[in-house]
């Protein structure tokens, strides 16, 4: 049972904080010019928040007594730039105290981050409220692992209303950003995964020279060597030339349920953009808290003091 979804509305803050969306956009733009990868982080945050229980900023809670942070899960490995969420939230608190939820910051920063990365502009509703709890114990149920089977990935997305076409499109998020070696070495050592292009495998071995990388070492490879900071259909072109990084990426090009969509998206960036927008919108409206549910956190890292 999904409650709340229909209570989101366009411009929810039009009376209570008319400049809210503008403030977020300004901060996202400024941060992008200082640290381009913040925009990449906002996109990943949307996924990691919205699939775990719903778009309720549960992701942002820190570990304190009684709360175990979702960020501490292995599935959150490599997530970065959380401190800049506080920068955005602070600007909003200066404009209108205790009004704009952290869950809406997650959604709108992803929307504006997508634009900074050359992706489509997605019209998003607002009015999400923030959870009073973290769902750390179920993160692994909701977020697939990098080497899960395609059928389990498809059923995960299906459960939040995203079909196979939408799933192929939303994984196009991996057209930007990076993957750490710990998530890659299984495909390189002891023998190279035969579905990986041999030249690309050599490149990746250069980036990840040992089969047992120190998880704390910042050894990584870019998701998309062609246009690493652009949300475009190079992801699909790479998959067709066997240059997908994660097992879940490469599987999209080998499964008959997803391959036709990969081919179509590789050939048509407009079609990719359209499907990506549709899927991101569905993700951003997954099971929000609305109305009297939850709260508007003053500090995204902590539940309000009662
Ligand atoms: C089957 C689903 C997915 C799996 C298994 C998955 C897994 C991963 C993994 C393992 C990484 C690399 C982490 C690291 O080593 O640093 C990553 C990065 C990333 N993921 Fe996903 N992901 C999935 C879906 C998504 C979706 C739906 C989005 C957004 C809508 C997304 C956005 C990103 C972004 C932007 C990065 C790059 C982060 C950075 O460079 O800081 N992912 N993902
Ligand atoms: Ca959540
Ligand atoms: Ca790209």
Rounded average pLDDT over 28-32: 98
Q: Does residue 4 register a pLDDT over 60?
A: no
Report the candidate in 50, 124, 62 with the shortest Cα–Cα distance to residue 299.
Answer: 62
Distance from Cα 44 to the centre of ligand 1, integer Å: 6
Rounded average pLDDT over 45-60: 98
Q: Does residue 190 register a pLDDT over 70?
A: yes
Residue 188: the pLDDT is: 97
Which residue among 146, 164, 228 is best mutated to probe the pocket of ligand 1, counting the most ligand atoms within 8 A of its Cβ?
A: 146
Distance from Cα 177 to the centre of ligand 2, integer Å: 22
Q: Does residue 216 register a pLDDT over 80?
A: no
Q: Given the structure tokens 């048509």, which residue do they identify?
A: 268
Digit-coded pLDDT (tens) for 53-98:
999 999 999 999 989 999 999 999 999 999 999 999 999 999 999 9
Q: Does residue 130 register a pLDDT over 60?
A: yes
Residue 3: the pLDDT is: 53
Which residue among 139, 230, 246 is best mutated to probe the pocket of ligand 1, counting the most ligand atoms within 8 A of its Cβ?
A: 246
Residue 238: the pLDDT is: 98
Residue 214: the pLDDT is: 79
Neighbours of ion ligand 2 (CB under 5 A): 49, 52-53, 56, 58
Neighbours of ion ligand 3 (CB under 5 A): 175, 224, 227, 230, 232, 234
Rounded average pLDDT over 221-243: 97
Tokens representing 51 are: 């699939």
End-to-end Cα spacing for the chain: 29
Residue 6: the pLDDT is: 61
Report the candidate in 262, 302, 228, 251 with the shortest Cα–Cα distance to residue 63.
Answer: 302
Name the active-site residue from 33, 35, 48, 174: 48
Q: Given the structure tokens 């960020």, which residue do they identify?
A: 71
CA torsion sign for 241, 247, 249, 253 is positive
Q: Judge whether 48 counts as a catalytic residue.
A: yes
User: Is residue 213 very low, low, confident or very high in pLDDT (cuts 50, 70, 90)?
Assistant: confident
Which ipTM was obtained for this model? Answer: 0.99
Ligand at shortest distance from the CA of 170: 1
User: Is residue 45 very low, low, confident or very high in pLDDT (cuts 50, 70, 90)?
Assistant: very high
> Are the C-beta atoms of 11 and 126 separated by less than 8 Å?
yes
Tokens representing 294 are: 């939850």
Rounded average pLDDT over 136-165: 97
Across 118-139, b (16+ Cβ under 10 Å) vs e yields ebbebebbbbbbbbbebbbeeb
Digit-coded pLDDT (tens) for 269-290:
999 999 999 999 999 999 999 9
Ligand at shortest distance from the CA of 119: 3
Residue 306: the pLDDT is: 78
DSSP per position, 123-147: ---B--BB-SS--GGGHHHHSPPTT
Ligand 1, residues at Cβ distance < 6 Å = 37, 40-41, 43-44, 46-47, 77-78, 80, 144-146, 153, 170-171, 173-174, 176-180, 183, 246, 248
Burial (CB count <10 Å: 0-12, 13-18, 19+), residue 228: middle
- Whole-number mean pLDDT of the chain? 96
User: Is residue 1 very low, low, confident or very high in pLDDT (cuts 50, 70, 90)?
Assistant: very low
Residues in the chain: 306
The conformational region for residue 212 under phi > 0 = left, psi -120 to 50 = alpha, else beta, is beta
Percentage of the chain modeled with pLDDT above 70: 98
């Amino acid at each position: 049972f999904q409650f709340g979804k229909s209570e989101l509305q366009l411009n929810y803050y039009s009376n209570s904080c008319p400049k809210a969306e503008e403030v977020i956009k300004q901060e996202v733009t400024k941060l992008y010019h200082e640290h381009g990868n913040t925009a990449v982080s906002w996109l990943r945050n949307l996924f990691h928040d919205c699939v775990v229980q719903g778009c309720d900023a549960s992701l942002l809670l820190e570990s304190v007594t009684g709360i175990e942070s979702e960020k501490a899960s292995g599935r959150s490995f490599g997530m970065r730039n959380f401190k800049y969420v506080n920068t955005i939230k602070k600007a909003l608190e200066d404009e209108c105290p205790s009004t704009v939820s952290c869950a809406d910051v997650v959604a709108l920063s992803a929307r504006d981050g997508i634009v900074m990365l050359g992706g489509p502009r997605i019209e998003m509703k607002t009015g999400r409220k923030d959870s009073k709890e973290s769902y750390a114990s179920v993160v692994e149920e909701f977020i697939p692992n990098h080497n899960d089977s395609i059928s389990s990935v498809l059923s995960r997305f299906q459960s939040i209303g995203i079909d196979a076409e939408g799933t192929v499109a939303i994984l196009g998020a991996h057209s930007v950003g990076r993957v750490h070696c710990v998530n890659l070495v299984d495909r390189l050592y002891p023998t190279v995964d035969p579905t990986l292009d041999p030249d690309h495998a050599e490149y990746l071995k250069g980036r990840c020279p040992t089969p047992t990388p120190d998880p704390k070492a910042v050894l990584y490879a870019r998701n998309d060597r062609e246009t690493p900071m652009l949300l475009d259909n190079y992801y699909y072109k790479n998959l067709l030339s066997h240059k997908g990084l994660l097992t879940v990426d490469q599987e999209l090009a080998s499964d008959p349920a997803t391959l036709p969509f990969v081919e179509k998206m590789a050939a048509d960036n407009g079609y990719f953009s359209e499907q990506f927008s549709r899927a991101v919108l569905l993700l951003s409206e997954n099971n929000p808290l609305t109305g009297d549910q939850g709260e508007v956190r003053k500090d995204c890292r902590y539940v309000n003091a009662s």
